[in-house]
Amino acid sequence: MRVLVTSKSFGHAAPEALDLLAANGIEVVRGSRPSLSAAEIAAEIPGFDALVVGNDPVDAGVLAAGDRLRLVHMHGTGLDAIDIPAATARGVLVANAPGANRNAVAELTVALMLVAARSIDRHIDILRSGRWERTPGHEISGKTVGILGLGQIGRRIVELLSGFGVRTVAFDVAPDRDWAARNGVTLAAGADEVCAEADFVVLALSLNAQTRSFIGARRLGLMKRGSYLINTARGGLVDEAALCAALRDKAIAGAAIDVFDPEPLPPDSPLRHSGATLTPHLAATSVESAGNVSRIVARNVVDVLLHGRAACAVNPQALARRLEET
């Protein structure tokens, strides 16, 4: 059994993940370089039974080239770069590691709220330039935080904010009402209500056809003039041109953005000059989360390749498809 790994961080923070694969006779081969294109992965994938990717694209061409491919595993949570219907049609399982990086993402989300509200990044630049200037910012305490998406990351954000004395309002398409009640979360009837009420609008959504450009000109127009947008989820959730316009016109007070569409953020992107706080898709990048994810991935690879178990898969029907073909 052979696994092609294009994820840069797989196994580095958890060498025991590599040991587990080796102990089960599974060979790990690193991609020719980090961040491969779909065409480059397609050229390297023949002869491999599994593929472990970071944010690399896995399209129909990659799947067609995988003559032995049984599993595509995201080294993280986001699956928007993987063509899941095409994988299912070919009997290829697709998996991720939900929850493994939830604390890292939630912690950075809260940090970015503080950075944006107090203009910390701007004041650092001022001090480094040799000047001594300061302008008052805003406290989080006493504010309303609106969270769009109450999955594992959204819930962890709520938990971390519990000590700040905030009011939390949230929207989720399938909310756990008991959990919300226990944690003091007010469930809104819709996303528009969250945008209109919150001082901080926090995105904790997955990206799909229904959520692409979820925050556009209309919802930005619903937000308070003194509010902030925080996105550590996926870049495609926000219409970047509309956000730049809202910041330029001071329709909102600010934004802190960790994810972009496309990535890396192009050098000429208007966001670079918008006044928003920007970080390079940093949210899930912690030593602890990388170790968690690697261990989960290794266990899942062993389960699929050696035992035919698909409990980890988001498309378990692909296993039935493969059995039909054999």
3-state secondary structure 87-101: HHHCCCEEECCCCCC
Q: At what angle do helices 102-118 and 152-161 cross, to 10 degrees?
A: 50
Residue 62 clears pLDDT 80, i.e. is over it:
yes
What pLDDT does residue 77 have? 86
Q: How far is residue 285 CA from its own chain's centroid?
A: 11
Question: In percent, how much of the chain has pLDDT > 90?
Answer: 91
Confidence of residue 324 (pLDDT cuts 50, 70, 90): low
Q: What is the mean pLDDT of residues 43-58?
A: 96
Q: Are residues 209 and 162 in the same domain?
A: yes
Token digits of residue 94: 């697709």
What pLDDT does residue 34 have? 77
Supply the residues annotated as catalytic.
234, 263, 281
Closest by alpha carbon to 167, among 151, 188, 190? 188
| Beta carbons within 8 Å of 53's beta carbon, 6+ residues apart | 6, 7, 41, 72, 73, 74, 75, 81, 82
Q: Are residues 11 and 38 in the same domain?
A: yes
Q: Is residue 72 left, alpha or beta, with left meaning phi > 0 and alpha meaning psi from -120 to 50?
A: beta
What pLDDT does residue 311 have? 86
Q: Are residues 112 and 192 in the same domain?
A: yes
Identity of residue 299: R
Q: Which residue, 245, 260, 278, sits at the end of a domain?
A: 278
User: How far apart (Å, rounded) are the C-alpha atoms in residues 252 and 242?
Assistant: 11
Q: Which residue, 278, 300, 316, sits at the end of a domain?
A: 278
Q: Are residues 87 and 118 in the same domain?
A: no
Predicted TM-score (pTM) of the model is: 0.87
Angstrom distances, CA of residue 167 to CA of 164, 194, 197, 198: 9, 12, 10, 9
Q: Which domain holds residue 70?
A: 2-99+287-325
Q: Are residues 208 and 133 in the same domain?
A: yes
Q: Are residues 31 and 131 in the same domain?
A: no
Q: Are residues 226 and 314 in the same domain?
A: no
User: How far apart (Å, rounded) are the C-alpha atoms in residues 214 and 109?
Assistant: 18
CATH of the domain at 152: 3.40.50.720
What pLDDT does residue 322 have? 65
User: How far apart (Å, rounded) are the C-alpha atoms in residues 121 and 254?
Assistant: 12
Number of domains in the chain: 2
User: How far apart (Å, rounded) are the C-alpha atoms in residues 111 and 56?
Assistant: 27
Q: Are residues 271 and 318 in the same domain?
A: no
Interior CA angle at 319 toward 85 and 4, to 5°? 75
* 65 CB-contact burial (10 Å; exposed 0-12 / middle 13-18 / buried 19+): middle
Q: Are residues 110 and 91 in the same domain?
A: no
SS3 146: strand
Confidence of residue 323 (pLDDT cuts 50, 70, 90): low
Residue 326 clears pLDDT 60, i.e. is over it:
no
SS3 292: helix
Q: Are residues 291 and 247 in the same domain?
A: no
Confidence of residue 98 (pLDDT cuts 50, 70, 90): confident
Q: Are residues 112 and 220 in the same domain?
A: yes
| Beta carbons within 8 Å of 153's beta carbon, 6+ residues apart | 102, 105, 106, 109, 204, 233
pLDDT digits (tens, 9 = 90+) for 156-169: 999 999 999 999 99
Q: What is the mean pLDDT of residues 102-112?
A: 97
Q: What is the mean pLDDT of residues 211-222?
A: 98
pLDDT digits (tens, 9 = 90+) for 247-306: 999 999 999 999 999 999 999 999 999 999 999 999 998 999 999 999 999 999 999 999
Q: Which residue, 256, 278, 300, sits at the end of a domain?
A: 278
User: How far apart (Å, rounded) are the C-alpha atoms in residues 321 and 275?
Assistant: 50
Q: Are residues 79 and 136 in the same domain?
A: no
